[in-house]
Structure 1
Amino acid sequence: MSRLPVIVAQGGVSPAGRTSGFHGYRRLVLECLDDQSQSDTLAALRTLRNLPEGSSREDILSGTLIRELENNLFDHKAIPVHQAVQAEAGSEFILKGRRLPNPLPAGWQLEKREDGQIKVRIETSQQLMIPATRESLVSAAGQLPSGFAPEKLYQSRNHPRSLTMTVFGASDAIYSAGMDWNVIKQKLSPDQVAVYSGSAMSQLDFNGNGGLLQSRLLGKRVTSKQCPLGFAEMSADFINAYILGSLGGTGTNMGACATLLYNLEQGASEIRSGRRRLVIVGNSEAPITPEVMEGYSTMGALTTDAALRNLDGLSEAENPHWRRACRPFGNNAGFTIAESSQFLVLMDDELALECGAEILGSVADVFINADGFKKSISAPGAGNHLTVARAAALGRAIAGEDALRYRSFVQAHGTGTPQNRVTESHILSETAKVFGMDSWPVAAVKSYVGHSIGAAGGDQIMATLGVWKHGFIPGIKTINGLAEDVYSEKLNILQNHLETGVDQMDLALINAKGFGGNNATALLLSPGTTRKMLKARHGDKAMTQWQKKNESVTRQQDDYEQRCQSGESNPIYQFGEGVLDGGDLTFTGEQVNVPGYGQALNLEMENPFWHFN
C-alpha cells in the first residue's frame, strides 16, 4: 500500500501577494470574503508592499496582479539597445586614449591632440554600434506587488532575482508549516528528505546568465557569481545550503510550463514509494526581462499593446486595458508573462499525523505524457489528452463516480492564447463527455497573475488550496464571453466566481501544457477527502492524537502570521552556519550518523536485483 503525499504547508509570493495564510488566493476573490478575511489580506498586502498605515484599499490593490510594467525591473519605454550605423570613409571622432579598443580596428588612423585625447579617422567605410533605446511592444506583466523587494530582506549579495524570490518563498512555506524544523529532523534520516526546485529558464537577469552573456557586449566584466548562480537548479541548492541545511535528495526537473508539476511528480512519487518522507517542492521564475519578453513576442506568443487595443477597439492614443491583458478562453491575442515563487511542503501520511501537521490536501499523482510527432516544437499535440484522462480516471478510482462528476473542478493551463483556448477546451470537453460530467467547473488563474512559465503550476495549486479553505473558485473576470471556437459542451468555464462551500469539492485537476510537448496533469485531493483516507488507514485514535498535536501547530502558524502582518518576519538565510564536513560524521559499516538528524542513514542494503552467484 502506497504512502499518501500530504500537503502540509504552502508558501511563496506572486503578483497576488504572499502565498501563506491563503493571502495570494484571497486577493483573487477578495470581494467574496467576509470583512475580517478582507481586512487581514489588505493588511498583508500593505505590509508586503511597504505602504504606510492608513493606505486606501484602492492604493493597496493597485500594485498587484497583472498591470503595466513598472520601472523597478526595467524601463519598458526606453530599453537599451545597440543601433548599427554605417560610418563612411573619412569620418572622424574624438576618444580618450584609455578608451581605444585593442587591437585597433582595421582602417583606423590616430592623431594625438594637445589635450591628451585621440582623434580617430576612419579610412574605410565600416559599421559601428551606437547606444540607443527602443520601446517595448508589450507593456503588461504579472509583476510581484509594487514595493516588494525580496533582495532587501536578507544579505542577498547580488543574487539573481529568482533566487531572492526562492529565499522568501521557501522560507514562507517552512514558517507557515507551524513546526520546528530541528524537531522534525529528529524523526528523520538525511536521505528521507529531498528538495526539488528550480526554474524552467534559469536565472536570466543581469546577476545571472543574463549578465554572463551581456557583460562584454556592454563594456563590463563578467563577475565571479553570474555563471554559478545562473544554473536552473540553483533554487534547490539555495534551499539546501542556506535555509534547511539538508543533506538529502536534490535537483530539479525542467519541462517548460509544466516544470513545477514535473518536480511535484518526482516528490510525490518518492513519498509514495517510501524513499522520502519529507519533500520541499517548488519553482521560482523571474522571466520579466527585455530579452525574454522580446523572444516570446517575436514568436507571436505574448499579447502586445497593439493587439490589446485592437481587441477592445481602442485608438493608438489610448492605453490598453493592461489589467485585462490575459483572457483565457475569450477573444484573446496571447499570454501575459509573469514572475512567481511557489513552494509546497509534502510529508507522508504517517509523518504528517505524527507531527500534527496542517492538512491542506494531498497529491494523488501527477501524470506526464509527451506529444509524440509534432508539426512544430510549439504546436500542441495528443499528450495532454492522455494526462487529463489519466488524472480523471484516478480521481474516479479513489473517490468514486459521484465525486468526479459533481465534486471536482479543473485549474486549466489557460494561457490566453488563441491556440490554447481551442486545444485545451477541446481536451476538457471530451474528458467531461467520457466521464459523465455535465457542467465541469473550469478556472484559469493566469487571468489574474499571468503566466510565470515554470512556476505556473504553483500558482494554480495556490488558487486550488484556497478554494478548499474559503469555498470560492475564482472566475475568469477578464473576458466578456467565450470565443466562438472554444469547446464548451459539458463544461462550466467560469466567468464569475463560483461559490462551492468550504471543502465541498473532493478533487481538483491541475493542468499544464508546455512548449515542446511537456504535458502534465496533477490530481489533488481535498483536505476532507485526505482526512477520510487517513482515518481509514490509521484509525480514530491516531486522528484524535493528530488533532491534539495540531493545536500547537496552529498556534505557531498564528504567531508567524502576526509577525508577517507587523513586518517583523524575515526570510531564513543561514550563510556559513552549521557547515559540516566528513569529520563531523560518524561512520560504521552499517550506518552513518549525521549531526542534527535523529535517525542514522542506513547502509545495510539488500540487493534489489536478482542473485547471480
Structure 2
Amino acid sequence: MKNLAVITGFGGINAAGRSAGHHAFRRMVLESLSPADRERTLTALAALMGTTDEQAILDGTLVREWDNVDWDAKAVPFHEPFKDADGNQCWRLTHRRLPVQSAGQMPKGFDPAKLYRSHHHPRGLQMAVFAASDALGSLGVEWETLCQHVGPDEIAVYAGSSMGQNDGYGNGGMLQSALLGKRTSSKQCAMGMSQMPADFINAYVLGNVGKTGSITAACATFLYNLQMAKNDIESGRRRIVIVGNAESPLVPEIVEGYNAMTALASEANLKKLDGKNAEEAADLRRACRPFGENCGFTIAESAQFFILTDDKLALELGLSIHGSIGDVQVNADGYKKSISNPGVGNYLTMAKVMASTRRELGDEALKNSFVHAHGSSTPQNRVTESHIYEELARAFGISDWPITAVKTFVGHSLAAASADQLMATLGTWATGLIPGIKTTDKIADDVHQQGLEFVLQDKSVDSDKMVVGFVNAKGFGGNNASAAIISPTKTRELLQARHGDSALQNWMNNNQAVAAASQAYDDAMLRGEMEPRYRFGENVLEPADLEITDTEIRIRGWDKPVIL
C-alpha cells in the first residue's frame, strides 16, 4: 500500500495577506465571515501592514493600483533614442507611464526585508524566507524535532520561480548595470537563478541535506513540483517534502514584456471594457475578471509553501491534517499554432485526475467536488478553459459543478499561481465557503456553462461533504497540470481505514498539543511578533562532521544516519 501525502502545514504571503491560519483566504471572503473571524483577519493584516485603519487595510490588499513598489508606474525611466547634430546615435533619459497600472501586490506597507538580515536579497527570496517560515510556524512542531524522526536524506525541498529574480538585486540589476554605469555585484547572477528559493530554504531556513530541486513550467510550475513531492512521499523515498514557489515579477521590464504580448489588462483596455473615456479612471480594483468580459491577466507576486509528510509520520506525531494529495497529472499540448495558444493537454490532465478520483474514492466524490480554475482573465482562456469543464462534466455525469478562480482577488503570480489556488482550496474546508469570482458581474456570453456553476458570490458548502477540490493550471508553451486535493474529513476517513481506530484516536490525542502550539504561533504573529526563521552561518557542516562507513553516513546533529 503506497503512502498517502498529507498536508500537515502551510504558509505564505500574497496580495490577500499571510496564508497560515487561513488569513489570506479569509480576506477573500471577508464579507461572509462571522464578526469574530472578520476581526481576527483584519488584525492579521494590521500586523503585516503597520496600520489599524480598517479602510486602509481593505484598500491596501488584493488587486489594486500600483502602490507598493520602489519605482513610479506613472513615470518609469526610459532612454529615448535620438541623433545629435552630427548624426551620432544618442539616448536621453525621459520617463513614461506604464500601460499597465494594476497588480497583485503584497499588502501595502509589508516589507519582508525588514524582518530579518536580508543583506541585499532579491524580493522573491525575501518572500520565500518569510513564507517558508510561516509554513514551519503553522506545523505546531519544532522543525528540529520533526527532523529527528526521519533520515537526513528522507527530506526534500522542491521550490523555485518561473521568471527568476529580476529586481535590482538579481538578474535585473546584473543586466542593467552597464547601461546604468554601475558595477555588477558578486550576488546578482547567482541570486537571479530560478531555483534559488529552494537553495535559500535549504541553506538558511531548514539546514536540509536531502533532495532538492525545481521544475520550471511557466504558470503551471507549482503543480509540476507538487507532482514530484507526491510521488516521493507515495514511494517512500521521502517522508517530508516542502513544496512551493516564490515569484516576484513586479518590475517594469517584466510588466512591459507581458504587455507587449497583449497578455495583461492594460489601463486603456479596462477603460474601453467599461465604456469610459480617456479622462475617466479605470476600475483597477476589478482589473482581473475571470470568465467575464475581460481584457487580460493581472500580474502578481506571491510565495506559498506546503509541508507534506507521509501518513504514518502524521499519525505518529499528531500533526494537523489540512488535506491530502490525491492525484497530480501533467501533459503537453502537442503541435501548436503558437507557443502561447492553448491546446489539448489540459483536457488530458483534468480527465485523468477526475478518473483517478472516481477510481479511488467513488463516483460520489466527483459529484461532491469543486474546481479552482486557472481563470487567468483573458478572452481566450474564458472560452477554452470553460469548454474543458463543460466537456468533462458531460462525460462524467456532473451537474452544477462549482467553478471559482482566486486570481480575481490576488492576480496571476505565474509560478506560484496554482499554489495560491491550493491555499484557497484548503480555506474552503476550514470555513465552509467557496470564494466567489466577485470582480465578474456576469459570465461572458462565449463562456461554456452546461453542467457548470460559476460561483460569482461566496457560496456556503458543507465542508464534511465537499470531498475533493480540483486545482487546474495552464501555462505558456503547453504546460498543463491538474491536481485532486482530498478534504481533511475524507483524509481522516482514509487514515482510519488504513491504520485502524486506535491509531486515529492516538493521533487525535497527540494533535491537541500540536494544534495548541500552532495557535500560539498564530497569536504571536497577530501581535506583530514576526521573526522569520533565518540561520545564516549557523551549524555549518564540514567534512569532519561526517562519520563514513561502507553502509551508512552519520551527520552531526542528526539522530538517524543516511543508509547507503
- The 2-side partners of 1:205 and 1:395 are apart by 42
1:269 to 231, 239, 256: 231
1:330 to 292, 296, 308: 292
Equivalence for 1:357: 319
Equivalence for 2:65: 68
Q: Which amino acid aligns with 2:77?
A: P
| TM-score, with length taken from structure 2 | 0.99
The answer to whether the Cα contact below 8 Å between 1:76 and 1:139 also exists between their aligned partners in 2 is yes
Equivalence for 1:139: 101
**Identical amino acids, percent of aligned pairs:** 50
Answer yes or no: is 1:457 the counterpart of 2:418: yes
Equivalence for 1:44: 44
Q: Which amino acid aligns with 1:505?
A: M
- The 1-side partners of 2:377 and 2:217 are apart by 20
Equivalence for 2:430: 469
The answer to whether the Cα contact below 8 Å between 1:185 and 1:596 also exists between their aligned partners in 2 is no
- The 2-side partners of 1:29 and 1:548 are apart by 32
Cα displacement string for residues 521-552 of structure 1 (whole angstroms, at most 9, x for unaligned residues): 01100001100000000101111111111011
- The 2-side partners of 1:86 and 1:587 are apart by 68
Q: Which amino acid aligns with 2:97?
A: E
The answer to whether the Cα contact below 8 Å between 1:204 and 1:230 also exists between their aligned partners in 2 is yes
Equivalence for 1:57: 54
2:507 to 539, 543, 546: 546
Answer yes or no: is 1:11 the counterpart of 2:11: yes
SS of residue in 2 equivalent to 1:227: helix
Cα displacement string for residues 434-453 of structure 1 (whole angstroms, at most 9, x for unaligned residues): 00101100000001100000
Answer yes or no: is 1:192 the counterpart of 2:154: yes
| TM-score, with length taken from structure 1 | 0.91
In angstroms, what is the RMSD of aligned CA positions? 0.8
Equivalence for 2:78: 81
- The 1-side partners of 2:559 and 2:453 are apart by 50
Answer yes or no: is 1:250 the counterpart of 2:234: no
Answer yes or no: is 1:27 the counterpart of 2:27: yes
Q: Which amino acid aligns with 1:244?
A: L
Cα displacement string for residues 173-202 of structure 1 (whole angstroms, at most 9, x for unaligned residues): 011111111111111111100000000110
| 1:503 positional shift | 3.3
Q: Which amino acid aligns with 2:11?
A: G
Cα displacement string for residues 44-80 of structure 1 (whole angstroms, at most 9, x for unaligned residues): 00010011xxx33222111000000015342001101
Aligned length: 564
SS of residue in 1 equivalent to 2:244: strand
Q: Which amino acid aligns with 2:231?
A: S
Cα displacement string for residues 302-353 of structure 1 (whole angstroms, at most 9, x for unaligned residues): 0100110011111211111111000111000000000000000000000111
- The 1-side partners of 2:140 and 2:464 are apart by 21
Equivalence for 1:120: none
Equivalence for 2:255: 293
| 1:135 positional shift | 0.5
Q: Which amino acid aligns with 1:82?
A: H
- Relative to structure 2, which stretch is displaced further, 243-252 or 70-79? 70-79
| 1:394 positional shift | 1.2
- Relative to structure 2, which stretch is displaced further, 16-25 or 57-66? 57-66
- The 1-side partners of 2:261 and 2:390 are apart by 28
The answer to whether the Cα contact below 8 Å between 1:182 and 1:596 also exists between their aligned partners in 2 is no
The answer to whether the Cα contact below 8 Å between 1:258 and 1:454 also exists between their aligned partners in 2 is yes
SS of residue in 2 equivalent to 1:211: helix
Q: Which amino acid aligns with 2:379?
A: P
| 1:412 positional shift | 0.1
Q: Which amino acid aligns with 2:540?
A: V
Q: Which amino acid aligns with 2:190?
A: P
SS of residue in 1 equivalent to 2:153: helix
Q: Which amino acid aligns with 1:29?
A: V
Judged with a 3 Å threshold, the aligned counterparts in structure 2 of structure 1 residues 71 and 84 are, in CA distance, closer, same or farther, namely farther
Cα displacement string for residues 568-598 of structure 1 (whole angstroms, at most 9, x for unaligned residues): 1210000000000111011111111112222
Answer yes or no: is 1:319 the counterpart of 2:281: yes
- The 1-side partners of 2:68 and 2:75 are apart by 10
The answer to whether the Cα contact below 8 Å between 1:13 and 1:169 also exists between their aligned partners in 2 is yes
Equivalence for 2:264: 302
The answer to whether the Cα contact below 8 Å between 1:260 and 1:283 also exists between their aligned partners in 2 is yes
Structure of larger gyration radius = 1
Q: Which amino acid aligns with 1:387?
A: T
| 1:402 positional shift | 1.5
The answer to whether the Cα contact below 8 Å between 1:396 and 1:404 also exists between their aligned partners in 2 is yes
- Relative to structure 2, which stretch is displaced further, 172-181 or 502-511? 502-511
SS of residue in 2 equivalent to 1:331: coil
Listed as ranges, the matches of 1:512-527 within 5 Å are: 512-527=473-488
The answer to whether the Cα contact below 8 Å between 1:560 and 1:569 also exists between their aligned partners in 2 is no
Listed as ranges, the matches of 1:377-388 within 5 Å are: 377-388=339-350
| 1:501 positional shift | 2.5
Judged with a 3 Å threshold, the aligned counterparts in structure 2 of structure 1 residues 215 and 502 are, in CA distance, closer, same or farther, namely same
SS of residue in 1 equivalent to 2:485: strand
The answer to whether the Cα contact below 8 Å between 1:391 and 1:522 also exists between their aligned partners in 2 is yes
Unaligned residue ranges in structure 2 (runs of 5+): none
Equivalence for 1:599: 560
- The 2-side partners of 1:522 and 1:356 are apart by 26
Equivalence for 1:207: 169
Equivalence for 1:347: 309
2:440 to 479, 490, 494: 479
The answer to whether the Cα contact below 8 Å between 1:467 and 1:503 also exists between their aligned partners in 2 is no
| 1:599 positional shift | 1.5
